[in-house]
Amino acid sequence: MQLEDYFLFISEDDIRIKGHRLGIDNVLFYFLEGYTPEEINAIYPDLSLEKIYANITYYLQNRQKIDAYLLRLQNWRETHYHEALKNPSPQREKMRKIKQQRQNSIKV
């Protein structure tokens, strides 16, 4: 089995762990924060230690490429977060109005 066989390379900016909905970024986030593979396994109990180690090994063998991937992913998330703040969804706007109504009723 090749190391790449543990992953689904959906696109340049979407690498998933085969058999899971998780991206490699989910595991690497904790690994880069200093968590051990066993601690990561406690967070994602459906993810085998073998797959966690495969993520870490793939990262260590492709550090420059994966660091660039993680940076693109972080930038994408930040951009979409700011866009969501500027253009809230109907659900978010409804929740904002409910919150405002509650605050107004407390002040009275």
Residue 8's SS3 state is strand
Task: Write the single-letter amino acid at 87.
Answer: N
Asked if residues 55 and 27 have their Cβ atoms less than 8 Å apart, the reply is yes
| Residue 9 to residue 5: CA distance in whole angstroms | 10
Per-residue pLDDT of the chain (108 residues; tens, 9 = 90+): 899 999 999 998 899 999 999 999 999 999 999 999 999 999 999 999 999 999 999 999 999 999 999 999 999 888 877 787 788 788 888 888 888 888 888 875
The pLDDT of residue 97:
87
Residue-level length of the chain: 108
| Residue 75 to residue 81: CA distance in whole angstroms | 10
Q: Which CA distances in Å does 2 have to 84, 90, 94? A: 40, 46, 49
